[in-house]
Copies of this chain bind each other. A is one copy, B any other.
């Protein structure tokens, strides 16, 4: 979830200064249209780690736009008036009316997160608070509100650097002082609980956006662009019924950087090192799967990747170590008639292994947010809601003890070109390459954007995505096997 935000997103001063006046003008215009239409309110929820620019960004938005049409609410310690009423009362008192933008800086998420980090509430209370937040946001969205939730993020390293220079800010996180943040335990717990809360509460109509907080230019343009896009879409769509509306925009990629571009694609493994490590990891997997602790778990491995990235041959190296009765490989192609008559996830649920089983999905439920999104096989509403449905689905798997590993095998465009050519020229490989593969290549950037969004929304603590540098097949195969083995060992250690 935080992978992309933790890569070094930077926008230089020149680019920023060229973009800022246009964005500002567009936001101002949208704001006046919002006021004029008076059809719906906009609510921004601001959360995240200390020092990641929450306060600065909120101030900037107020400067960019007409401050008379923005209500910034900073919910600090409740007043006596507030403490004597139901907890939600204070938020209701400050909801922006139709035609206005409200920025809730400190909100129900800050409350529940701080309370949980400080152990004032238990995990069950947190679930209760999550449920309440969900019902409130659903209701607001049904009433027409556009809701955008921002998590300003810093990696632990970035935070440490930032804390050194951090000045006192009246809009600071009120519960956890900069002193507390010095402790790396505070960061870990805050981010861990934050991840859980975001996984549970990110919905198509009110998604979370992880904002990389380190670079001021990047975070400002990112938040501004998301707000502008959401506003414009809602303003243009004046026939919308509240409920069918507001599939909020996806985050923009402003600097072309992301998890894919930050991979070191030059990594290789020599033949000897490969042979040695492959055998070692295969032996390790074989032992781990025969371990009696495996009976309390199961293993599900998902393989996605660029065409010709080597999914098939990698899967064979994984299963190569095992007895055929120990695993099943499920190739996912177009759904059958029977499968089309069922909800989307049905065709994957049917192949979920029993405890003690191992299933490899050669392509998977991520098709919906990859190929179906890019090729238009699914409607936008359908693939947008799939992100949270997939998180719900995977949580059910891991709750049941299943160890879930997900691999994106990444190659660069040149490597793909070479492999396609080679396939065309090698008679026994020709069946592996079709016109369609060449067509898909034209959509390289769209697929890359889809991968970035998928990782941002579906790489979770319970089921992280592993991006595999696969220009060198040997390197990729060993990395995959090692990741599986590490995940199994970690699960056994937690038992």
Q: Smallest CB-CB separation from A93: which chain B residue?
A: B350
A399 at the interface (CB under 8 A from B): yes
Among B89, B143, B340, B346, contact of A92 (Cβ-Cβ < 8 Å): B346
A127 at the interface (CB under 8 A from B): yes
Q: Which residues A52-98 have CB closer than 8 A to chain B?
A: 81, 84-89, 92-93, 95, 97-98
Evaluate contact between A86 and B142: CB separation under 8 angstroms: no
A427 at the interface (CB under 8 A from B): no
Evaluate contact between B354 and A84: CB separation under 8 angstroms: yes
Note all chain B residues with C-beta closer than 8 A to A98: 340-342
Note all chain B residues with C-beta closer than 8 A to A342: 41, 95, 97-98
A451 at the interface (CB under 8 A from B): no
* Smallest beta-carbon distance A123→chain B, Å: 8
Q: Which of A187-195, A207-215, A389-397, A479-487 contacts B (4 or more CB under 8 A)?
A: A389-397
Q: Smallest CB-CB separation from A80: which chain B residue?
A: B354
Which of A135, A140, A392 counts the most B-chain CB atoms under 10 A from its CB?
A135
Evaluate contact between A95 and B38: CB separation under 8 angstroms: no
A145 at the interface (CB under 8 A from B): yes
Alpha-carbon distance between A77 and B397 when the two chains are bound, in angstroms: 20
Alpha-carbon distance between A289 and B85 when the two chains are bound, in angstroms: 17
Note all chain B residues with C-beta closer than 8 A to A89: 349, 352
A25 at the interface (CB under 8 A from B): no
Note all chain B residues with C-beta closer than 8 A to A346: 92, 95
Evaluate contact between B135 and A392: CB separation under 8 angstroms: yes
Alpha-carbon distance between A343 and B99 when the two chains are bound, in angstroms: 13
Q: Smallest CB-CB separation from A402: which chain B residue?
A: B86
Evaluate contact between A97 and B341: CB separation under 8 angstroms: yes
- Contacts A343-B140, A350-B92 given: A400-B97 contact, CB under 8 Å? no
Note all chain B residues with C-beta closer than 8 A to A356: 84
A124 at the interface (CB under 8 A from B): yes
Alpha-carbon distance between A73 and B89 when the two chains are bound, in angstroms: 44
Copies of this chain, count: 2
A355 at the interface (CB under 8 A from B): yes
Among B84, B93, B124, contact of A127 (Cβ-Cβ < 8 Å): B124
A184 at the interface (CB under 8 A from B): no
Q: Smallest CB-CB separation from A124: which chain B residue?
A: B124
A445 at the interface (CB under 8 A from B): no
Alpha-carbon distance between A264 and B269 when the two chains are bound, in angstroms: 88
Q: Which residues A397-419 have CB closer than 8 A to chain B?
A: 397, 399-400, 402
Alpha-carbon distance between A92 and B132 when the two chains are bound, in angstroms: 27
Evaluate contact between B85 and A354: CB separation under 8 angstroms: yes
- Contacts A241-B244, A355-B84 given: A99-B400 contact, CB under 8 Å? no
Q: Which residues A312-355 have CB closer than 8 A to chain B?
A: 338, 340-346, 349-350, 352-355
Alpha-carbon distance between A97 and B337 when the two chains are bound, in angstroms: 10
Note all chain B residues with C-beta closer than 8 A to A354: 81, 84-85
Note all chain B residues with C-beta closer than 8 A to A143: 343-344
Alpha-carbon distance between A354 and B38 when the two chains are bound, in angstroms: 32
Note all chain B residues with C-beta closer than 8 A to A81: 354
A381 at the interface (CB under 8 A from B): yes
Q: Which residues A428-460 have CB closer than 8 A to chain B?
A: none
A162 at the interface (CB under 8 A from B): no
A423 at the interface (CB under 8 A from B): no
Alpha-carbon distance between A389 and B141 when the two chains are bound, in angstroms: 12
Evaluate contact between A85 and B343: CB separation under 8 angstroms: no
* Smallest beta-carbon distance A13→chain B, Å: 40
8 contacts between A and B (CB under 8 A): A41-B342, A86-B396, A87-B396, A88-B349, A89-B349, A127-B127, A127-B131, A139-B385
Where the two chains meet, the residues of A that have a C-beta atom closer than 8 Å to any C-beta of B are 38, 41, 81, 84-89, 92-93, 95, 97-99, 122-124, 127-128, 130-132, 135-136, 139-140, 142-143, 145, 241, 243-244, 338, 340-346, 349-350, 352-356, 381, 385, 389, 392, 396-397, 399-400, 402
Closest 10 CB pairs of A and B: A124-B124, A97-B341, A84-B354, A86-B400, A92-B349, A143-B343, A98-B341, A84-B355, A244-B244, A86-B396
